[in-house]
Amino acid sequence: MSKTAEKFVEISTQKSFDIAHRGTINNNIGKYDLAVQKGLSRLINLDYAKKKGHQIKWKVMENLDKLLPEFESNFQKNGGKVIWANTIDEANQEILNILKKVNAKSVIKSKSMVTEEIHLNEFLEKNGIESLESDLGEYIVQLLGQKPYHIVTPAMHLSKEDIAKLFHEKFGTPIDATPQQLTLKARELLRDKYLSADVGITGANFLIADTGSIAITENEGNARLTTTFPKIHIAIVGIEKMIPSIADLDLYWPMLSTHGTGQNLTVYNTILSGPKKDSETDGPEEMYVILLDNGRTDLLAQKEQRQGLYCIRCGACLNGCPIYKNIGGHAYDTTYSGPIGSIITPHLKGMENFKHLSYASSLCGKCSEVCPVKIDIHKMLLLNRKDAVTKNFNTKTESLGWYFWKTGMLKRSYMDMFGGKFKNFMMNKFFKKTWGDKRELPKVAEESFSKQWKKNNPSKN
């Protein structure tokens, strides 16, 4: 077992039996579930919308080599600059080059999972540049020195009492401050940062090929401030976020918001096509889009598993997953947690070290059921498991275990060769630890069903 797998087992075991933690996330997810159910009921033909979203994403992946240059060409026509980054190191270095060029000392960021993927905050800190999160949830976890807990809701694991305590310790607010008071305090603290920051950094929910634009969707308005006040705007986006036309937002914006939070539409939806024009008063003087690969083309090469790239990051599969609702987001120790993270992380960060995530599933199929673009997530988990075995990433003990199991299962005489006492002894000797100390091993009957049948039905033999 790899060190990452050992860490996962340790943390997930701990979190599974942390009643307070489970209570918090199940309460928060439960609120989302009610809102999403109400939101979905407003859609006339949900299944058709999902199929259409799936079909468009399929078309994108089949033509990504054409759509990316189309986006680049159109964005450059609008005065923007496009940078291609194959790896995390390349992306960070390109961002640093831009910051050094303008002698930037501070950066304001809006919520972006891709910047978490490349560990941008840590990289900038090492290079003496202040990087501040402006999304309230991201700001809270940054104050705690933690990573986002959930794709959509970074601080989902915290109760309002936890946040009130944090703000009391950091900023002296009342220990019993209400959520409204805490939000106003955060607004007060962040507002000046937009004006003083040298550079604004965002992600993007969609890249639009035919207009050369990026689309950002949010609920707080912090992304608009991040892209408006600083003189330079850098958007770092995974290449899979491409959609062919601006008209496709008519489908994806409502599907994203409804499946994520139950809203008809998120509060702020912004389309940016480059730096401000001479006739415009607001906006950055320079705008860059960094197109990040970081293993995405490797996943694209997998004809079946490439479905993982269809994801629009709504978080629905996390909210529906019984595993996630018990172990939480931090247990995965990856940027993308839950079912979607389990299928893409082994391809982005290496199958050998992250194959265990594809086994962290009950295969109940809830993730596939709730996905707004019909990704067969539970099928992808099985394909990842198959790949791990094909590439010999399983241990020798595991291989031997499955060899003897297969041999025994293929021949009834082998199954009946040893009695229940011997089988129970072997299970206790070799499998008790892997079964977990919180569960009792099942006991094998003294005689197999075949023998019991023959004994109880002699006339039918």
pLDDT digits (tens, 9 = 90+) for 423-437: 888 888 877 777 777
What is the tens place of the pLDDT at every residue in 103-151?
999 999 999 999 999 999 999 999 999 999 999 999 999 999 999 999 9
Q: Which amino acid is at 296?
A: R
- Please give the pLDDT value at position 127: 96
Query: What residues contact residue 68 under an 8 Å CB cut-off, 6+ apart?
Result: 209, 239, 242, 291
- 379-390 tens-digit pLDDT: 999 999 999 999
- Between the two ends of the chain, the Cα-to-Cα distance in Å is 47
Give the pair of three-digit tokens for residue 317: 């599969």
Listing DSSP states for 346-376 in one string gives HHHH-HHHHGGGGGS----SHHHHH-TT---
> Which one is predicted more confidently, 438 or 3?
3
**Which pLDDT band holds residue 293 (cuts at 50, 70, 90)?**
very high
pLDDT of residue 371: 97
What is the mean predicted confidence (pLDDT) over 300-329? 95
Does pLDDT of 442 surpass 90? no
Please list the alpha-helical segments (H only) found in 17-119. 19-40, 46-62, 64-77, 88-101, 113-117
Looking at residues 226-246, what average pLDDT do you find? 97
Q: Between 414 and 340, whose confidence is greater?
A: 340
Q: What is the mean pLDDT of residues 236-251?
A: 98
Question: What pLDDT score does 432 carry?
Answer: 79
Of 427, 434, 215, which is closest to residue 312 (Cα–Cα)? 215
Task: Give every strand in the sheet of 232-238, ordered side by side.
Answer: 81-85, 286-292, 232-238, 199-202, 106-109, 130-133
Domains and CATH numbers, the chain: 43-294 (3.40.50.10420), 397-460 (no CATH)
pLDDT value at residue 132: 96
Q: Is the pLDDT of residue 238 over 80?
A: yes
pLDDT of residue 461: 64
pLDDT digits (tens, 9 = 90+) for 405-420: 888 888 878 777 777 8
pTM of the model: 0.91
Q: Report d(CA 370, CA 59) in Å as an integer.
A: 21
User: Mean pLDDT lowest for which of 97-101, 181-185, 457-461?
Assistant: 457-461
Q: Which residue has the tokens 């018990």?
A: 326
287 pLDDT band, cuts 50/70/90, is very high
pLDDT in tens, 356-378: 999 999 999 999 999 999 999 99
What's the rounded Cα separation, in Å, for the pair 189 and 445?
66
Residue-averaged pLDDT of the chain:
93
In the structure, what pLDDT confidence band is assigned to residue 157 with cuts at 50, 70 and 90?
Answer: very high
Average pLDDT over residues 214-228: 95
Instruction: Report pLDDT digits (tens) over 19-59.
Output: 999 999 999 999 999 999 999 999 999 999 999 999 999 99
Q: What is the pLDDT of residue 420?
A: 80
